[in-house]
Amino acid sequence: MDTDTLLTVPDPADATVLSCDVLVIGGGTAGTMAALTAAERGANVLLLEKAHVRHSGALAMGMDGVNNAVVPGRAEPDDYVAEITRANDGLVDQSTVRQTATRGFGMVQRLESYGVKFEKDEHGEYAVRQVHRSGSYVLPMPEGKDVKKVLYRQLRRREMRERIRIENRVMPVRVLTHPEDGRAVGAAGFHTRTGAFVVVRAGAVILATGPCGRLGLPASGYLYGTYENPTNAGDGYAMAYHAGAALTGIECFQINPLIKDYNGPACAYVANPFGGYQVNRHGERFVESDYWSGQMMAEFAAELASDRAPVYLKLSHLPEETIGAVESILHTTERPTRGTFHEGRGHDYRTHDIEMHISEIGLCGGHSASGVRVDSHARTTVPRLYAAGDLASVPHNYMIGAFVFGDLAGEDAARYRAYEGELDQEQIAAAHDLVYRPLRHPEGPPQPQVEYKLRRFVNDYVAPPKTGAKLSLAVEAFTRMSEEIAGMGARTAHELMRCAEVSFIRDCAEMAARASLARTESRWGLYHERLDHPERDDTDWLHHLDLRKSPSGAMEFTARPVEPYLVPVPEFAPPGGPERHLGEVELVPVATAGPREAAPAARTGAESPGPVVSAPVAAPHPRLLQLLSLVEDSPDLDALGPYLADADPSVRAAAVTALGETAPAGTGPVLAARLRDGSPVVRAAASAALRELVEVLPAEPELGEGLREALAVPDVGVRAAALEVLRALRLGDAALYAGTLGDDAVEVRVQAVRALVSVDAVGGLAEAGADPAREVRVAVARGLAAVRNPVPEPLGPLLDDADPLVRGAALGALAGTGCPPGYAARAVTALGDAAWQVRSGAATALRAAPAGLAVAALAGTLDDANADVRKAAVLSLLAHRADPAARAALAGAVDDPDADVRAYAARAAR
C-alpha cells in the first residue's frame, strides 16, 4: 500500500491473529540471536520488526569492533566483572555481567562461524587491543559493515525458515498478559505500511527493541540526528513497564562523546588502540578515569566547560599507514558518512584533529545501566517475559553482551508453547486505541512538532546536572503533554508508527525524571549528577532503584540491595538487608519562585471575569480561498470591500485580518467600523488589527469618530481596544477618558486610567483612586508618578489603602513623585509591614528621600527575608552612594545569597 494512502480506523474484530511459541520483538542484535537460538531448540518463533530485519537495529550500519571481548589468554572473566563493577560505581548484579564475561568468547566464535570477521594477527590469534588503563577487551572488526547481512543470511537458511516466521513492518505497542497470573501471553500492534491491526498469541515474549536513543534532543535540533539509532524510541521500555515488569537504573543516563556537529561516536575504541587519544586545546591529555563511564564523561564535560576547551581526538601525530588503517575502519563501518563529513569541512586526520563534544541523553543498558531488570537468564519480573540487548539492564554490555543475552533469552523461552486461552479484550482495546487514535483527528498537531517539544523539555529539565526542582518541572511537563500526545493527528500508517513512538518517548522521559528524583545522591559521574545531592551515598544508596507500575497505575519505586558480589571489589561493600519500598516519588514544589507571605485577595462578585467562551466558527467558506489568493496581490479597499461585507462572518473576519496584513490607504476607519460588527469573531479581529497597526495608522478624524462610537459597543474587548487606540493616536481628551471611568469592566477602566495619564489629567486620576477594583487603584498609583509634573500629595489616600498591593504601588510611586520628609517617615514605618510588596515599595520610595532619613533604614532592610525587598533596598542605596554609610551597607550586600542583590551591590565599587 502507498504510504500516503489515507487510513481509516479498523475494527478490532478484524485483527490479523498470529500464533507462535516464542515471540521476538525487534530484529536487531539481540533479537536475531534470540530467534536463532529458540528455533535451534525446537520452538516455533515469530520475529516482529517494525522496519525490515535485513537492515534494522544498531548493527545495520555495521560495527567497527567489539568493546568487551574476554579472550582467553588476554583477559580474565573475573577481571572484566570487577572492571564493570567499578565503572558502574558498584551498582551491578554481577551474575548478569559474568554471563557476558564467560560466554562472550564462545559468542565471538559462533559469530565467526556465521561469517563475521574479527581481526587476527599473523599467527591467527585474535588481535585484542587495550583502550583503557586496565584490561584488553577491544577486538576490531575490519569488515564489520557486513554483520547484519551475515545474521540475516542465517535467519533465511532453510532449516531456520521452517522454524522462524519473520513479519517485517509490524510494530507491537503492548505486551499482552494473562489477567490472572500476569504472565506474558502475546502482543498487540499494527502493520506500519498497511495499518492493519495485529494480535499475537505466544508462549513467551522476548523484548529486544534496543535503547531509548531518541530521548534527549541533539544539539543539531534534528529529531533523528541522534547518537543512537533513531528508530530506537524506547518501545521496549514502555511495553515492559505497562506489562508490569520492573525497570532499574533508569536514572543512570547514557551520555557519550561524539564528533562535534556530527552525531556519530568519536570512536576512541578504534582510534585509541592505534595511538589516538583525547586532548584539550593545549594538546594535554586530561582523562583520569580508567574506563569509559559516567565518571569519565564528568571529566570530559568539565574540560569542555573550562578555558582549556575545545577537546579533540588527536590523530595528526600518527604515521600515514596508521591513519590509513583508521580511515579504512572509521569511514566504512558504523557511520559511513564520516569521511564525507570531514571532506566537506576540508579536514584530514593528517592535518586536523577531530573536535569532540557530548551527545544528548538516552537510556541504554548496553552503554550505561538503565533498562528492564533481568536475571542471568534474561528473565524479567513478569513470568515468560524476557529482555535482551541494550533494553536490558546489564551494565556496559555492548554488542557481545546483546548477543549473549539474546542467546540466553532464546534458550530459556524455548521451553514454552503457544498460548491458547482467551486474550484480555480490555488490553487489546487499549492497544488498539493507542495505535489508531491519531486517525480520529487527522488535523491534530503533527508528530514532529509534538516530539520536538517533548524532547526539548527533556533537555531543559532532565539532562544533567540535575536538580529536584528541574526534575519536578519535567514531571509536570510530561504529565501535561499526555493530552497533547493523545491529540496528535495522523493520516498514514507510517505516521501512526511515529505517533506511537512519541508515546513511548514520553513514558521513558517520565521514568527518567521520576527515577532521577527518587535517587537522592550523585552517582555514575555525569550520568546522575544531582546538584542538590552532590555526594555519593553508599550507605543508603548502594542499592538498585527499581521502578514499576502499581495496580493503581502510578509509577512507584523500590530500593533493592545489591546482590552479594561473585568477584570481590575492595572499593565497594554492598550493605545487603531488605528492600525499601519507596512508593511514589514526591515532587519538589516549583509552582512559584518562593512562598508568598500573604496571599493577595481575589476578585469578587462583578469584578471577576466570567469564563471565556469562544464563539462557534462556521465551516470554511469557498470565498476564503479567493480572498487568500487576493491577499497575495496586496489588494486595495475596493477589492476587499465585497469580502468585508460578506454575509459569512468567517469571510469578514478573514478580510479584516487581510487589512491588517496589507494596510492600504483608508484602513483605520474601516477597521473602526468593523468594531461594531455583529459577529464577535470579526470584532476581535478588528480589535487585534487596530492594536497591531496603531503605529502606522494616520490619526485622522474619521478614525477617531469610529473609535468613540465603539466605546458604546457591549463587547468589553472592543471598548478596551478603542480606548487604547484613541490614547495612542492622541485622538481623545480628558473629558472623554474620564467619562469611561464608570465602565462596568475593569479592563476598560484600566485603559481609561492610562489614557488620563497620557493627557496629564491628575484630577481624573485622583477620582479613579477610589475605584472598587484593586487593579484600577494600582494603575492610578503608578499613573500619578508617570504624569509630566508628578507630586506626592495625590498618592496620600492610596498610601492608606486596605490592599497591600495598592499600598506597595503607592509607596513605589513616591520614588517618581519625590519623597519629602513626611512621606519618607511613612515609608520608613512601612518597612515593617507584614506584606513584602509594601516593604519593597517602601524601600523603593526611600530612593527619593533625603539621605539622612533613608540610608540607615535601608541598611537595616538588607537582612529582610524577601530577596525582592533587599534588591529594592540595594537599588535605593545606590542612589545614595555618595553617603559613606550607604557605601558601607552596599559592601556588606555583595555576599547576599540572591544573585541580583549581589550584582547590584557590587556596582557601588565601580
pLDDT in tens, 152-200: 888 988 889 899 999 999 999 999 999 999 999 999 999 999 999 999 9
- Residues of the chain scoring pLDDT < 50: 1-3, 605-615, 617-618
The answer to whether the CB of 368 falls within 8 A of the CB of 512 is no
Closest CA to 386 of 416, 354, 409: 409
Alpha-carbon gap, residue 334 to 652, rounded angstroms: 58
Q: How many residues does the chain have?
A: 910
Question: How many CA atoms does the CB half-sphere of 203 hold within 13 Å?
Answer: 15
> For residue 612, what pLDDT is reported?
45
29-61 CB burial, b ≥16 within 10 A, e <16: bbbbbbbbbbbbbebbbbbbbbbebbebbbbbb
- Residues β-bridged to residue 557: 547, 583
The answer to whether the CB of 682 falls within 8 A of the CB of 711 is no
104-115 CB burial, b ≥16 within 10 A, e <16: bbebbebbeeee
The answer to whether the CB of 264 falls within 8 A of the CB of 338 is yes
Side chain identity at 213, as an amino acid letter? Answer: G
- At 311, which helix (H) or strand (E)? strand 311-314
Q: Is 141 exposed, middle or buried (0-12, 13-18, 19+ CB in 10 A)?
A: buried
The DSSP-derived string for 393-439 is: --TT-HHHHHHHHHHHHHHHHTT-----S---HHHHHHHHHHHHHHH
CA distances from 345 to 277, 348, 388 (A): 21, 9, 39
Percent of the chain with pLDDT over 90: 68
CA distances from 231 to 224, 225, 226, 249, 498 (A): 8, 11, 10, 22, 9
Task: Count the helices and strands in the chain (H runs, E runs).
Answer: 35, 19
* Full-model pTM: 0.76
Alpha-carbon gap, residue 840 to 90, rounded angstroms: 52
> For residue 617, what pLDDT is reported?
45
> For residue 322, what pLDDT is reported?
82
Reading phi first (left if > 0) and then psi (alpha if -120 to 50, else beta), residue 760 is in left
Q: Is 735 exposed, middle or buried (0-12, 13-18, 19+ CB in 10 A)?
A: exposed
Q: Cell 497597526: give the residue.
A: 693
R_g of the chain computed on alpha carbons? 34
Q: How far does CA 426 lie from the centroid of its chain?
A: 31
263-301 CB burial, b ≥16 within 10 A, e <16: bbbbbbbbbbbeebebbbeeeeebbebebbbbbbbbbbb
The answer to whether the CB of 725 falls within 8 A of the CB of 707 is yes
Give the cell for residue 692: 497591531
The answer to whether the CB of 10 falls within 8 A of the CB of 197 is yes
Closest CA to 297 of 437, 89, 519, 17: 89
> For residue 137, what pLDDT is reported?
67
First to last CA, the chain: 72
* Helix/strand/coil percent split, the chain, to 5: 45, 10, 40
CA distances from 763 to 114, 417, 743, 769 (A): 95, 91, 18, 10
SS3 392: strand
Q: For residue 59, what are the contacts with CB-CB under 8 A and spacing of at least 6?
A: 28, 29, 147, 148, 151, 399
Side chain identity at 265, as an amino acid letter? Answer: P
> For residue 594, what pLDDT is reported?
57
The answer to whether the CB of 132 falls within 8 A of the CB of 95 is no
Asked whether the bond before 265 is cis by omega within 30 degrees of 0, the reply is: no
> For residue 644, what pLDDT is reported?
92
- Residues β-bridged to residue 140: 65
CA angle in degrees (0–180, nearest 5) for 268-273-276: 60
CA angle in degrees (0–180, nearest 5) for 560-564-565: 125
865-904 CB burial, b ≥16 within 10 A, e <16: ebbbbbbbbbbbbbbbbebeebbebbeebbebebeebeeb
Each residue of 627-636: pLDDT tens digit? 877 876 678 8
> For residue 61, what pLDDT is reported?
65
CA distances from 444 to 441, 476, 503 (A): 6, 22, 15
The answer to whether the CB of 690 falls within 8 A of the CB of 681 is no
Give the cell for residue 118: 574479527
